[in-house]
Amino acid sequence: MAEEVAQEQPRPTAPRPVRCIVKLGGAAITNKGELESINEENLRSACAQLRHAMSESDGDGATEKVLGMDWSRKPGDPADPAVDAEWIAGMAGLGLDTNFIVVHGAGSFGHFQASRSGVHKGGLHSTLVKAGFVATRISVTSLNQEIVRALAREGIPSVGMSPFACGWSTQQRKLASANASQIIQSLHTGFVPVLHGDAVLDELLDCTILSGDVIIRHLAQLLSPRYVVFLTDVHGVYDRPPTDPNAVLLKEIEVDDNGGWSIVKPALLQGNTKGVEISVAAHDTTGGMETKILEAAVIARLGIDVYITKAGTEHSLRALKGDVSTDSEDWLGTIIRSSK
């Protein structure tokens, strides 16, 4: 389990504690069986729920006029986008708690290019790896732009940030340099940073893949959010691959000071410390659910609750709002927390 904190400049401080770091799982927002295909319905739902969770009004946000911030002309649009500048200028504010950070996986973007070229193994002296590095970044940054646009259409002032462009790098696949000053500055000014898994330079291997789950772990260590949410294509962590009809959803997992973890709920598995069976797609160069669980355990040891649940459901909305507790019997998902 990677626990080392990457070397930083003097530790920056946010104006107030970050409320939540959200991971949009690649399997939830893309169609992983189709190359570079976005699951538009899930992405729209996740963005709408994020706006609802950020809303400072008492309503559900459904009747509020949304300030769309994607003013780009899309292919096939008959006219330039309509922008009501006078109405926007008269707004007192957005009415949103924007103290969120979004990190997304790649799903059907990037993994194909990385696995075909071996970018995750390193070796930029190889023409194939160098070309694959470029191809991987083209793919993941194009997805990042689409997610930023989807968030912007919901009135969320989001800005895309690529770890490679921010100077993040690794040493033998472990995070070595991760300057978060641009992320902090963006939070200060009311923007929602949107990061993603990326191809990065590695001091020993030349290059590798930095997963979104590792990024979240590092940001949680640095910024101490109130809670962390992983939105996936399944309801949470199971004791075996969820496609198995006998799979059982693990509703609560405790992590001790040594990083060991045990199942608290359901009671039939209480005290089980053997872990879960992991299923990772052949093209997934970031470790899939295994990496997610390990990184979530590191976060939980910091005293930060981690919620893993299915995107686009009532359970994901409650998680994004932080409306989940260990007593929430009607909530479908996995809570990973410290045993303290």
Check: CB of residue 320 under 8 Å from CB of residue 227.
Answer: no
Q: Is 90 annotated as a binding residue?
A: no
Check: CB of residue 269 under 8 Å from CB of residue 261.
Answer: no
Per DSSP, the three-state class of 152 is: helix
CA proximity to 105, closest of 318, 297, 311, 335? 311
Tokens of 56: 């400072």
Check: CB of residue 336 under 8 Å from CB of residue 296.
Answer: yes
Cα 20 from chain centroid (whole Å)? 11
Q: Is 283 annotated as a binding residue?
A: no
Beta bridge partners of 193: 159
Residues in contact with 107: Cβ distance below 8 Å, sequence separation at least 6, in sequence order: 25, 26, 27, 28, 29, 30, 31, 32, 143
Vertex 183 angle, CA 302 and 221, to 5°: 10
| Residue 155 Ramachandran class (φ > 0 left, ψ -120 to 50 alpha, else beta) | left
DSSP letters, 100-140, are: EEEEE--TTSSHHHHHHHTGGG--TTSHHHHHHHHHHHHHH
Q: Is 212 annotated as a binding residue?
A: yes
Distance, in Å, from the CA atom of 152 to the CA atom of 233, rounded to the nearest integer, reads 23
Cα 15 from chain centroid (whole Å)? 22
Q: What is the DSSP letter of 269?
A: G
Binding site, annotated residues for substrate: 106, 111, 212
Binding site, annotated residues: 106-107, 111, 212, 233, 288, 292
Binding site, annotated residues for ATP: 107, 233, 288, 292
